[in-house]
């Protein structure tokens, strides 16, 4: 056979057979399954139907983020909140050795924000946001959660208690001033980033009669009346303040109460307040919203707008911590 003919036949065979070999190799590679780790699930008690829901950790975090922080906030603030929400779950879930939900022993977490973290399902979010905003809001929520998937906040290698609140009003509070248990990562920090919050400064008014009734319902031994509140000197005053200027204890008719107790009794936005009697009313000038410990949500939004990323935001409010991966 002539050399030219042999060359032609060889090239032709290569052209016909080589693609088959390559495609076969691709198919073998593509058919090899990825070695993915199993999805982490948590047990969530849903108060609306009193049922226990087994839900993937990341899906749970999406529902928490949508319930706990406005979707309009800066993406870096949403990322920070997502990591905080995931940390909260990891701290309590039995799969990680946590003790679960005290109010619902069979659950890791519940959806009651007074006890655990708020959580909302997609159907409820559609009602709240409306169909026009749902898609864009949910897409942003998913982006914040998925871009931080598996990340938690730790202090010396241990998941922290990632406390957060709406608005600190200029300075966060030390945990020890609120719950008598100090934590090295929950200390007071100066926060100039929440000035755009609608709850930065508010005024809350109560009739003297309503105020006196609320206090007597709390403790019947406190002899407070509308008339005594008008007295000089008044029988209601701030007895002690914390280092951040929040009320620590108050004195009412000679008895001392924790300011946090008064706040919950009256529904005050925070314990950072002053007060005065005006006619038949007692007027509270309140600064901030929430207990003031840990991450300030409006502050996180302000930090995002100022160019900080979510890791810097978390390390600003949770001092000495690191963002690590649960895997």
List pLDDT tens digits, range 110-120: 999 989 999 99
* pTM for the structure as a whole: 0.86
Q: For the chain, what is the total number of helices (H) and then of strands (E)?
A: 11, 14
**Residues 150 and 46 both lie in one domain:** yes
Q: Tell me if 247 is assigned to some domain.
A: yes
Residue 253, in any domain of the structure: yes
Is residue 229 one of the residues assigned to a domain?
yes
Instruction: Compute the distance between CA of residue 256 and CA of residue 4 in angstroms, rounded to an integer.
Output: 107
- Same domain for 62 and 152, yes or no, is yes
pLDDT digits (tens, 9 = 90+) for 20-70: 433 343 333 333 344 456 789 999 999 999 999 999 999 999 999 999 999
237 φ, ψ (degrees, to nearest 5)? -155, 160
For residue 68, CA distances in Å to 103, 125, 127 come to 20, 12, 16
Q: Are residues 65 and 155 in the same domain?
A: yes
Q: For the chain, what percent of residues have pLDDT higher than 70?
A: 88
Residue 297 belongs to some domain of the structure: no
Instruction: Give a yes or no: residue 84 inside a domain.
Output: yes
Percent of the chain at pLDDT exceeding 90:
81
Residues 262, 317 within the same domain = no
DSSP string, 128-156: HH-HHHHHHHHHHHHHHHHTTTTEEEEET
Question: Average pLDDT for residues 125-144, to the nearest whole number?
Answer: 96
List the domain range (segments joined by +) for residue 92: 41-161+309-325
In degrees and rounded to multiples of 5, residue 165 shows phi and psi of -155, 175
Same structural domain, 122 and 45: yes
- For the segment 173-190, the average pLDDT, to the nearest whole number, is 94
* Angle, CA of 89, 148 and 291, to the nearest 5°: 50
Find how far residue 182's CA is from the centre of its chain.
Answer: 20
Report how far residue 201's alpha carbon sits from residue 177's, in angstroms, rounded to the nearest whole number.
21
Same domain, 205 and 247: yes
pLDDT in tens, 209-239: 999 999 999 999 999 999 999 887 778 999 9
Do residues 100 and 207 both lie within one domain?
A: no
pLDDT (mean) for 176-185: 92
Residue 36 resides in a domain:
no
CA 57 to CA 71: how far, in whole Å? 20
Q: Is residue 32 part of a domain?
A: no
Q: Are residues 71 and 145 in the same domain?
A: yes
Please check whether residue 299 lies inside any domain of the structure. no
User: How many separate domains does the chain show?
Assistant: 2
Same-domain status, 208 and 252: yes
Beta bridge partners of 287: 201
Give the span between the Cα atoms of 183 and 153, in whole angstroms: 14
Residues 262, 230 share a domain: yes
319 shares a domain with 266: no
- For residues 146 and 246, state if they share a domain: no
pLDDT of residue 39: 84
């Amino acid at each position: 056979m002539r050399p030219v003919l042999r060359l032609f036949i060889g090239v032709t065979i290569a052209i016909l057979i080589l693609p088959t070999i390559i495609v076969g190799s691709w198919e073998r590679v593509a058919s090899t399954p990825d070695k993915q780790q199993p999805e982490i699930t948590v047990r969530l008690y849903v108060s609306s139907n009193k049922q226990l829901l087994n839900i993937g950790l990341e899906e749970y975090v999406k529902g928490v983020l949508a319930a706990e922080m406005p979707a309009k906030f800066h993406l870096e603030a949403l990322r920070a909140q997502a990591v905080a929400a995931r940390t909260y779950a990891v701290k309590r879930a039995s799969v990680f050795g946590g003790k679960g939900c005290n109010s619902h022993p069979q659950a890791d977490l519940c959806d009651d924000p007074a006890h655990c973290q708020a959580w909302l399902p997609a159907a409820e979010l559609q009602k709240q946001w409306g169909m026009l905003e749902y898609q864009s809001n949910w897409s942003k929520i998913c982006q914040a959660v998925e871009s931080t998937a598996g990340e938690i906040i730790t202090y010396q290698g241990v998941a922290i208690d990632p406390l957060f609140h709406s608005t600190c009003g200029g300075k966060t509070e030390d945990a020890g001033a609120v719950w008598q248990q100090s934590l090295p990562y929950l200390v007071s920090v100066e926060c100039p980033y929440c000035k755009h919050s609608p709850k930065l400064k508010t005024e809350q008014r109560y009739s003297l009669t309503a105020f006196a009734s609320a206090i007597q319902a709390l403790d019947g031994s406190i002899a407070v009346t509308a008339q005594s509140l008008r007295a000089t000197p008044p029988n209601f005053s701030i007895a002690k303040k914390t280092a951040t200027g929040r009320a620590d204890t108050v004195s009412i008719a000679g008895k001392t109460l924790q300011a946090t107790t008064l706040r919950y009794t009256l529904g005050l936005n925070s314990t950072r307040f002053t007060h005065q009697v005006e006619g038949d009313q007692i007027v509270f000038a309140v600064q901030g919203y929430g207990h003031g410990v840990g991450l300030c949500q409006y502050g996180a939004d302000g930090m995002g707008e100022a160019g900080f990323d979510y890791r810097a935001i978390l390390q600003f409010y949770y001092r000495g911590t690191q963002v690590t991966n649960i895997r």
